[in-house]
Structure 1
């Protein structure tokens, strides 16, 4: 099986990394893809990352006070 890299910047990047690590192009690509795969698998989905923040927000009691639109418009320069 073979891959054909038709992007010069990608080819250059892979060759630079291979030279830096003294590895073949195949080993360099395999290692880079495996590292990225492991990193991506370990990522916590955004919904889970925001859950704690959402819980904290919901814990605040409702104040019953309405936002002053004119005040916020003035702050943002939309007066």
Structure 2
């Protein structure tokens, strides 16, 4: 399998890190991707971040108002067209 890096900056960074750490390009790319995946896995998902907000909104309950076309027309200053 192969991968072709067509970005000069990415290639230069990979070569710089490989040289600095005495590793090959494949190992450097592998390490970087593994570290990035681990960091992302440790971060809460968007749904986990939004859960407290959702819970707070759920406490408020329903207003009973209907958000239909007429509602949006009214708040946008549009009159019903007949």
TM-score by length of 2: 0.58
C-alpha deviation, 1:59, in angstroms: 5.6
Distance in 1, matches of 2:59 and 2:29, equals 47
Question: What's 1:63 paired with?
Answer: none
Report how many residues are paired. 62
Which structure 2 segments of 5+ residues have no match? 61-82
Distance in 2, matches of 1:4 and 1:52, equals 43
Instruction: Say which SS state the counterpart of residue 6 (structure 2) adopts.
Output: coil
C-alpha deviation, 1:58, in angstroms: 5.8
TM-score by length of 1: 0.60
Question: What's 1:8 paired with?
Answer: 8
Instruction: Say which SS state the counterpart of residue 36 (structure 2) adopts.
Output: helix
Where do 4+ consecutive residues of structure 1 move more than 3 Å? 53-60
C-alpha deviation, 1:55, in angstroms: 3.5
**Aligned-residue CA RMSD in angstroms?**
2.2
